[in-house]
Structure 1
Amino acid sequence: MKKLIFPLLITLFVINASAQEKDSNNANRLAQIEAALKSEVPRVLCLNENVATGGQPKPAAFAKLASNGYRSVLTLRTDKENVDLKKDRELTEAAGMRYIQIPVVTAAPDPKHVEEFIKTVQDKKNYPMLIYCGSANRVAAFWMIYRVVAEGWAEEKAMEEAVKIGLTRPELKAFVQSYLASNKQK
């Protein structure tokens, strides 16, 4: 029995050390990606190895995303905003990435867009992806809903992350609370 315990402990130690090294390498990679994008994407934040968030990217950001292995870009901006989304699409596709638009109106988000957002984020073909809007407010609101509804996060923890991403708008906070309350009743 003692002969089995020692090799088992060694194996567990090696597995644990390997996992810690992987986590450390992953954190370093995410920090490197954030640093590379910082001047090109306002409020950029790599949440994990699959998702980064931010405000409106500058044109050079799309090539940098692609060079860092990103496969898609999801914008929550509408065509009525003062930004050239056609150019964003062209730059995204020219860099070999997929462009996805879910047009969210800040003052009146549509709950059906939340469902579309969740499906898009859960589609592993899109990983890794950048999710952006003008200032990261809409991104933060929709991401908070995703964390609670799709991943089972506590609302308080998801709100902390949403604030870190950029959630400041009262109307978006109200939308999140309303959406989550109506989802609890289902």
Structure 2
Amino acid sequence: MTSFGKRVMWNWKWNSDNYPQLDSRIKQWKEEGIQFLSYINPYVASDKDLCAEAAKHGYLAKDATGGDYLVEFGEFYGGVVDLTNPEAYDWFKDVIKKNMIALGCSGWMADFGEYLPTDTYLHNGVSAEIMHNAWPALWAKCNYDAFTGDRQTRRDPVLLCAPVIPVVRSIPP
């Protein structure tokens, strides 16, 4: 709970307390022709288990001291999943598969691709100021790779916030 009410807390796992029977409802809605869309971004709330898992494996971008870079998002902090780290990329792709696709989401809004703090230190060694413009493409590719891993049974949308032209061109219809 925040000062302006309940909000998504960026753990990217179904909260059955807030959304009881969501899995069965999604199946029912699909049978009725209703598509369920969700939301995700490449950050994990610092007080949730996915952030702890990412930190344990070194999957978060770093700050100037070598610690995990945490961004303040208005009453909570989030770790930046370092998509330039191939292991972190694959891990987060699996987070999408397990928590979006396996749940039955027909698509999702892949948000915050445009947001990479420019003072982070990334696994690939490239300055975050330089990576900033490539970050939306990398985030779109992570979603696309998760999506296409299940392509034979899927024809559902992934909605990208503020995609750049090269990203749109690289994703087939």
For normalisation by structure 1, the TM-score amounts to 0.34
Decide which structure has the larger Cα Rg and report it. 1
**In proportion to residue count, which structure has more helix?**
1
